[in-house]
Amino acid sequence: MPPAQAPVDLPDLQPIGGRPFGLYVHVPFCITRCGYCDFNTYTPAELGGVNPDAWLAALGRELGLAAARLGRPTVDTVFVGGGTPSLLGGPRLAALLDMVRETFTLAPGAEVSTEANPESTWPEFFDTIRAAGYTRVSLGMQSVAPRVLGVLDRVHTPNRSADAAREALAAGFDHVSLDLIYGTPGETDDDLLRSVDTAVATGVDHVSAYALTVEEGTALARRVRLGELTAPDNDVLAHRYELVDARLTDAGMNWYEVSNWCRPGGECRHNVGYWDGGQWWGAGPGAHGYVGATRWWNVKHPNAYAELLDDARLPVAGFEQLEDDALHTEDVMLKTRLRQGLPLGRLSPDERGRAETVVADGLLVPEGDRLVLTPRGRLLADAVVRALLD
């Protein structure tokens, strides 16, 4: 049992009008821990057993306190992430959404998403959550190459993710996403292209592709440190990104954020809210929220989370008030990653001068009153942001 958590109270939260408001729910459960993952997740062995019903009850208490604190705002998007939300099963995910409706006001046409692991889904699961009101499913595919899945410690079989995507589409979901990881040690160009082609062939309208990163404290980091695996090479990662982008573009999916491609209308509205100035409440162990100029984060351990809520206290571990400079930096950093581009009006005169140099270097291109990353600029997006701000 973790030590008792000292209470941390949030300051008054004043949502900024006219901006989208989202709700993120973190499900902290996984059957196994993938070797590359450093998310706040727990296996049954780590918790001494999993009690999803107790977690769901605690979540309901947090949602009630959150709605009271904010004055029951209208929610434009809901995203259930993790962890492995599909481990809850369809009925519990339906109950979770019912709790959201009881405490917040869902906007007409709200986007309601959940992540899912292919091995913990089946046709009845998708039928249940679709009937409950979920509108979008994001499935972790990672790769169809068995050796790549083995290095990543993924438990699903190579074909299961594609089958799950087809089952979600058959259940009536208009928006289904598959997530890929590229740059895994031992992966070849052909491995990656077969994964992309398999994703496209399912008929999904959205694909995310992320470069593998070696996070400290993970099993992957230990294997790299011991010399069992070679860390991803930056030049290889850039080449693989270009392969993904070319293949998805040819298939009719266009990038709308550096790591995300979709068919027209397939953008994940919740994630666009993160990148484009939206606000959200983060519920669940370790979840982060952001309202007005306040960012906060919950206690990580599910037991400590539940104990605070049993005492009718928000499970907040800490918060920060963002000053104007920090808000500006985040605004530039996030908007630069979007296909819609960074509005020139968001830049100071000095920054606009630096932007001219970045344009001359071929990393940004003006489009009306915005600056948009070029294909090469997308490979160097972090460097572009530094060049604009430094």
CATH code assigned at 139: 3.20.20.70
Sheet holding 206-211, edge to edge: 254-257, 260-262, 206-211, 175-182, 136-142, 105-116, 74-82, 21-27, 279-283, 288-291, 294-298, 316-321
The radius of gyration of the chain's CA atoms, rounded to the nearest angstrom, is: 21
C-beta separation of 38 from 215 below 8 A:
yes
Comparing CA positions, the residue from 136, 50, 48, 132 lying closest to residue 88 is 50
Label residue 346 exposed, middle or buried (CB < 10 Å: 0-12, 13-18, 19+).
Answer: middle
28 lies in some domain: yes
C-alpha to C-alpha distance for 56 and 124, rounded to whole angstroms: 21
Q: Spell 204-239 as b/e; 16+ CB within 10 A means b.
A: bbbbbbbbbebeeebebbebbeeeebeebeeeebbb
Domain total of the chain: 2
Q: Are 214 and 342 in a shared domain?
A: no
Asked if 338 contacts 257 with a C-beta cutoff of 8 angstroms, the reply is yes
Same domain, 239 and 333: no
Return the closest-CA partner of residue 28 out of 43, 41, 47. 41
What pLDDT, on the 0 to 100 scale, is given for residue 168? 98
Q: Which two tokens stand for residue 55?
A: 């977690």
- State the pLDDT at residue 3: 47
Percent of the residues in the chain that have a pLDDT greater than 90, as a whole number: 78
Residue 223 pLDDT: 82
Q: Give residue 6's pLDDT.
A: 61
Q: Which amino acid is at 268?
A: C
Read off the pTM.
0.94
Listed residues 214, 249, 276: the one ending a domain: 276
- Let me know whether 203 and 107 are in one domain: yes
- pLDDT at site 7: 65
What stretches of the chain show up as alpha helix (H) in DSSP? 44-47, 52-70, 89-103, 123-132, 146-152, 160-170, 189-201, 219-225, 234-250, 269-275, 302-310, 324-336, 349-360, 375-379, 381-389
Residue 49, pLDDT score: 62
Phi, psi of 349 (to 5 degrees): -55, -40
Q: Are residues 222 and 341 in the same domain?
A: no
Torsion angle defined by CA atoms of residues 321, 324, 329 and 332, in that order, rounded to the nearest 10 degrees:
120
Q: Which domain holds residue 367?
A: 324-389
Same domain? 332 vs 269:
no
**How far is Cα 387 from Cα 375, in angstroms, rounded to an integer?**
17
Residue 305 inside a domain? The answer is: no
Q: Is residue 315 part of a domain?
A: no
Q: Which residues contact 78 (CB under 8 A, 6 or more apart)?
A: 22, 23, 24, 25, 97, 100, 106, 110, 111, 112, 113, 270
Q: What is the pLDDT of residues 124-138, one digit of tens each?
A: 999 999 999 999 999
Name which of 315, 162, 182, 176 is nearest 245 in CA terms: 182
281 occurs within a structural domain:
no
CA–CA separation, 252 and 26 (whole Å): 32
Per-residue pLDDT of 25-83, as tens digits, reads 999 998 877 766 667 777 777 777 658 899 999 999 999 999 999 999 999 999 999 98
**Could you tell me if 142 and 218 lie in one domain?**
yes
Give average pLDDT by consecutive 10-residue segment, the chain, 390 residues: 64 87 95 72 73 93 96 95 94 98 96 96 98 97 90 78 97 98 93 97 98 80 81 92 98 98 98 96 97 95 93 96 95 97 96 97 97 98 96
Q: Are the C-beta atoms of residues 38 and 218 closer than 8 Å to each other? A: yes
Mean confidence (pLDDT) of the chain = 92
Query: Do residues 268 and 340 share a domain?
Result: no
pLDDT of residue 1: 47
* CATH (domain of 385): 1.10.10
Please indicate, yes or no, whether residues 260 and 342 belong to a single structural domain of this protein: no
In a domain, 213, yes or no: yes
Query: Using N-to-C axis directions, what is the helix angle for 381-389 and 349-360, rounded to 10°?
Result: 140
Tell whether 175 is covered by a domain. Answer: yes
Q: Do 347 and 249 share a domain, yes or no?
A: no
Contact in structure between 76 and 107 (CB atoms under 8 Å): yes
Residue listed under structure tokens 């994940």: 268
Last residue of a domain, one of 239, 254, 276: 276
Are residues 104 and 31 both part of a single domain? yes
Q: Which two tokens stand for residue 253?
A: 């999916």
Specify if 1 maps to a domain. no
Last residue of a domain, one of 276, 309, 340: 276
Same domain? For 383 and 239 the reply is: no
Q: How many CB atoms lie within 10 A of CB 328?
A: 16
The pLDDT, as a whole number, for residue 337 is: 97
* 96 in Cβ contact with 23 (< 8 Å): no
- Residue at 264 is within a domain: yes
Chain centroid to CA 81: how far? Answer: 7
Separation of alpha carbons 388 and 367, rounded Å: 17
> Do residues 207 and 336 both lie within one domain?
no
